[in-house]
Chains A and B, each alone.
Chain A
Amino acid sequence: MSVYSLYVINKSGGLIYNRDFTEAARVDTNDSLRLASIWHSLHAIAQQLSPVPGCTGIELLEADTFNLHCFQTLTGTKFLLVVDPHASFIPALLQRIYELYSDYVMKNPFYETEQVIKCELFDENVEQLIRRYLQQAM
Chain B
Amino acid sequence: MSRAKHQQLNIVDRPLTKNKAEVPTVSLSAFAYLFSEYIQYLVDRANSITELEERLERVGYDVGVRVLELLSYREKSLRRKTDVLDILRFIHGPAWQYLFGKTADDLQQAANADDEYYIRDYDLMVSRYISVPRSYEPFNPGTLAAGMMRGMLDSAGFPSRVTAHFVSHKDRPRPITTFMIKLEPAVMQRQAFLEAAKKG
Residues on A lying within 8 angstroms of B by beta carbon are: 103-104, 106-110, 118-122, 124
Nearest-CB residue, chain B, relative to A120 = B131
Task: Give B49 Cβ to nearest chain A Cβ, in Å.
Answer: 12
When the two chains form their complex, are residues B130 and A107 in contact, meaning their CB atoms are under 8 A apart? Answer: yes
Please indicate the chain A residues that have their CB under 8 angstroms from the CB of B39 in the complex: 109-110
16 new A-B contacts at CB < 8 Å, known A109-B130, A121-B130: A103-B32, A104-B129, A106-B33, A107-B29, A107-B32, A107-B36, A107-B129, A108-B36, A108-B130, A109-B35, A109-B36, A109-B37, A109-B43, A120-B131, A121-B129, A121-B131
Knowing A109-B43, A110-B136, the reply to whether A104 touches B36 (Cβ < 8 A) is no
B110 on the interface (CB 8 Å rule)? Answer: no
Please tell me if the beta carbons of B133 and A103 are within 8 angstroms of each other in the complex.
Answer: no
B132 at the interface (CB under 8 A from A): yes
Complex Cα–Cα for A76 and B59 (A)? 36
Known A-B contacts A107-B29, A109-B43; the reply to A119 vs B131 at CB < 8 A is yes
Alpha-carbon distance A108/B39, docked complex (angstroms): 9
User: In the complex, A103 Cα to B173 Cα: how many Å?
Assistant: 18
CA of A49 to CA of B43, assembled, Å: 45
A residues in contact with B112, CB < 8 Å: none
Q: Write out the residue numbers on chain A whose beta carbons fall within 8 Å of the beta carbon of B35.
A: 109
> Which B-chain residue is minimally distant from A119 (CB atoms)?
B131
Question: What are 8 A-B interface contacts by the 8 Å CB criterion?
Answer: A104-B131, A107-B36, A107-B129, A108-B130, A108-B131, A109-B39, A110-B39, A110-B43
B26-50 contact mask (Cβ, 8 Å, vs A): 1 or 0: 0001001101111110010000000
| In contact, B33 and A110 (Cβ under 8 angstroms) | no
> CB-CB < 8 A to B38: which residues of A?
109
* Across the A-B interface, the 7 shortest Cβ-Cβ residue pairs: A109-B39, A107-B129, A120-B131, A109-B36, A107-B32, A119-B131, A121-B131
Closest to A124 in B: B173
Interface digits, B139-181 against A, CB 8 Å rule (1 contact, 0 not)?
0000000000000000000000000000000000100000000
Q: Are A107 and B33 in contact, CB atoms less than 8 angstroms apart?
A: yes
By CB atoms of chain A within 10 A, which of B35, B38, B129, B173 has the most? B129
Per-position binary interface string of chain B over residues 110-130, scored 1 when its CB falls under 8 Å from any chain A CB and 0 otherwise: 000000000000000000011
**Distance (whole angstroms) from the CB of B159 to the closest CB of chain A:** 30
Nearest-CB residue, chain B, relative to A128: B173
Whole-angstrom CA separation of A120 from B130 in the bound complex: 9
Report B-chain residues with C-beta under 8 Å of the C-beta of A104. Answer: 129, 131
Q: How far is the CA of A104 from the CA of B36 in the complex (A)?
A: 11
Give chain B interface residues in 12-71, CB to chain A under 8 Å: 29, 32-33, 35-40, 43
Q: How far is the CB of B98 from chain A (nearest CB, A)?
A: 23
Q: Contacting A110 at CB < 8 Å: which of B32, B130, B173? A: B130
Q: Which residues of A contact B173 (CB under 8 A)?
A: 124
For residue A37, give the distance in angstroms from its CB to the closest CB of chain B: 26
> Are A108 and B129 in contact (CB-based, < 8 A)?
yes
CA of A9 to CA of B144, assembled, Å: 34
Contacts of B29 in A (CB 8 A): 107
